[in-house]
Amino acid sequence: MRRRDVLGVLGGAAVWTRRAHAQSPALPVVGYLSPESPGPFASRLKAFQEGLAESGYVEGRNVTIEYRWAEGEYGRLPALAADLVGRNVAVIAATGGAPVALAAKAATKAITIVFEMGGDPVALGVVDSLSHPVGNLTGVSSLSVEVSRKRLEFMRELLPNASVFAVAVNPTSPTANSQLSSLHMAAETLGVKLHVLQASTEQEFPAVFAALAPLGAGGLVFTSDPYFAFRSQPLAELAVRHSMPAITQSRDFPNAGGLMSYGGDFTQSHRRAGLYVGRILRGEKPSDLPVQMVTKVELFVNLKTAGLLGVTFPPSLISSADMVIE
């Protein structure tokens, strides 16, 4: 009698565990590929999950998310992407820039990839058409890369007397060349001289700032690059330390004490990427989902920093700013 009871309990436990196991494969798995670590990416991830929820998917309830973080080492992205492909996830969300999208694209032709990036997906060879992406990719692009020349314009407007500016570029970025040529053309139009400074790791940042004064640069313009965007805090600190007016693509920069930023609204682009992942999970084909451009470009200015740096924003800048930090 007692032995039978024990067997019964064991049997019940076995059934229970099997059922628990049987339930998890039923949930679709989203592979989430990010170039950074969870900390700086939290606001982006939140926006992504909001978009996913808007299309009816909530993590843990009806979808599972497998996270892969490159933690700033962009060289690890291909291996992480391949790992997700090996796990045979339902869809890969490649967010946080063109390098992530390209790494995912190289890893699979079968699994649908939804990208989130700042550059032109056609020019970068991610997709061949915005309206009818052929293949297994679609996604969202903010206009951050395209508006890097506007950053130079804003800097020139802020400092009408300066004739020399510096541009910080990440040579490993796939958009580096196109942004530089656009900036050189803009400098010509604006009649200013441009110095290009390179930095692809955080360790090179101090050297960039140290080089500014000898060059006589009035201000520093950062090209659009996720690596820079996710390192707004140290950049803002360096800029203040060197009393250097600087502009980046991300609102994180003025929020962290930088002077200003001009770039696409990343909450919108990440939210829409989440929305597209949900629609792919529902069974829509990537070719039916045109690549979305986030039209909203936002100008953030920090008046406190301006006071520290001793610069004054002209009314035209203040009036066109989306957010003025006082």
Partner 1 sequence: MIRQRLRFRGLFRKYFLALFLAVVVPLAAHGISEAWFGYRDQRARLDQLLGVEARSAAAKIQAFLDEITNQLGWLVQLPWTDEPDERRRTDALRLLRQVPAIVSLTFVDGAGRERLYVSRIGLNRSESRTDRSGEPAVQGARASRIWYGELSYFRGSEPYLTVAISGNRPSVGIAVAEVNLKLIWDVISAIKVGDTGLAFVLDGPGRLVAHPDISLVLRGADDETLIPFRTIREEIIRSGARFATGRDAQGKFVAAAAAPVAGPGWTVVVEQPLSEAFGPIYAALWRTAGLLLTGAAFAGLLAFALARRMIDPIRRLEVGTQRIGAGHFDHRIDIRTGDELQRLAESFNAMTADLAVSQERQERIAKLKRFLAPQVAELVDRKGDDGVLEGRHTEVVVVFGDLRGFTAFSARAEPEEVMNVLSQYYEALGRIITKYAATLTSFSGDGLMVLVNAPVPVEEPALLAVDLAAEMQRAVQELIVGWQAQGYRVGFGVGLALGPATVGRIGYESRFDYTAIGSVVNLAARLCASAADREILADAAVAEAVMGKRVVNPLGPRLLKGYDEELPVFGIPFDTSPRAA
Interface residues with partner 1 (CB under 8 A)? 122, 129-132, 143, 146-147, 149-150, 153, 186, 189-190, 279, 288-293, 295-297, 315-316, 319-322
Tokens 């045979």 belong to residue = 88
Within the chain, what is the greatest distance between any pair of CA atoms? 96
Residues shown for the chain: 326
Smallest distance, partner 1 to C-beta of residue 30, A: 19
Q: Which of 98, 183, 104, 173 is nearest to 137 (CA)?
A: 104
CA dist., res. 173 & res. 195, Å (int): 18
CA dist., res. 172 & res. 188, Å (int): 25
> DSSP assignment, residue 290?
P
Tokens 């843990």 belong to residue = 60
Q: Are strands 260-264 and 297-302 parallel, antiparallel or unpaired?
A: antiparallel
Do residues 111 and 91 lie in contact, with contact meaning Cβ atoms separated by under 8 Å?
yes
Smallest distance, partner 1 to C-beta of residue 223, A: 16
Q: List 59's β-bridge partners, or say none.
A: 63
> DSSP assignment, residue 223?
P
Residue 147 or 166: the one with the smaller Cβ distance to partner 1 is: 147
Residue 18 or 132: the one with the smaller Cβ distance to partner 1 is: 132
Smallest distance, partner 1 to C-beta of residue 105, A: 20
Question: Phi first, then psi: what are they for 227, rounded to 5°?
Answer: -60, -40
Smallest distance, partner 1 to C-beta of residue 264, A: 11
Residue 181 or 189: the one with the smaller Cβ distance to partner 1 is: 189
Which residues make Cβ contacts (< 8 Å) with residue 222, sequence separation at least 6? 151, 167, 168, 228, 235, 246, 247, 248, 249
Q: Which of 220, 270, 224 is nearest to 247 (CA)?
A: 220
Residue 39 or 315: the one with the smaller Cβ distance to partner 1 is: 315
Smallest distance, partner 1 to C-beta of residue 219, A: 16
Residue 98 or 294: the one with the smaller Cβ distance to partner 1 is: 294
Smallest distance, partner 1 to C-beta of residue 256, A: 23
Smallest distance, partner 1 to C-beta of residue 295, A: 5
Residue 85 or 101: the one with the smaller Cβ distance to partner 1 is: 101
Residue 192 or 256: the one with the smaller Cβ distance to partner 1 is: 192
